[in-house]
Amino acid sequence: MRDAENSKMSPARDKPLTARASFLPEVSLPSNLPPEPVAIADMANMFGVTHRTLHFYEEKGIISSRRAGLMRIYSHQDVRRMAVINFFREIGIPVATIQDIMQKLADATCQEDADTIFQDLLNARKLELAEEVSTVRRQIQQISDILTDDNAQTLAERPFDDASVELTGQERRCLELMAEGYAPVRLARTLDVTPEELQKLEACVMDKVSASNRFQAVAKAYMMGVISQDKAQTRSDRNA
């Protein structure tokens, strides 16, 4: 009896997230927005993701598409949803959490409620990132204290200095933004390069500092003096 009453009171919850009317926060849309319907290739290119990523998001119910023959197509509202999802991914929010957020947005009764949900999320994420930055700085300082201890390390064992790594201006800028935590999509936009060009650029940077991934590249760059911790901290504080 109670289940039947609940079903009558909240029929919207039985609908997929993408099938329900929802209020979305305002985030930047791609400047090269094509007319509707938007082909899957255009959707992928606009956000620097693969077709497989879009399929994955559809499986999770956070975006949807229609069919035009064998091709998936999207509306401009789908592009808006993808812009919100992409923004969440760029600031480091996992897909499972994005599902919960999109559920809350779908349940919002007005734009003001959706904006409040969005602002609360951003404030919470900013605090998380500030704690992570504090932890990383402390760990870097602990490493630096050991590396500069003359009794613990000989000159031969010291890391290379900045002069031993020859980076182009773009490579250095790429490395600095990686250190600031820029996600690949945001990094490509900032550097004004394609995702493929960014991959090659990051590969060059990692090769020059002898790193196997972007996180190791940043850590080695700090230890080698390629990136100034004070400079990065000042920029980070300015953007906070």
**Interstrand relation of 71-74 and 66-68 (parallel, antiparallel or unpaired):** antiparallel
Give domain 2-116's CATH number out of 1.10.1660.10, 3.30.360.10, 2.30.110.10, 2.60.40.4070.
1.10.1660.10
* Residue-level pLDDT at 181: 79
- Beta strand segments in 22-156, E: 38-39, 66-68, 71-74
* Residue-level pLDDT at 177: 87
Sequence ranges of the domains in the chain: 2-116, 159-239
Q: Which residue ranges of the chain lie beneath pLDDT 50?
A: 1-15, 19-21, 150-163, 231-240
- To the question of domain 159-239 being in CATH 1.10.10.10, the answer is yes
* Residue-level pLDDT at 9: 40
**DSSP assignment of 200-238, as one string?**
HHHHHHHHHTT-SSHHHHHHHHHHHTSS-HHHHHHHHHH
* Residue-level pLDDT at 88: 93
* Residue-level pLDDT at 114: 92
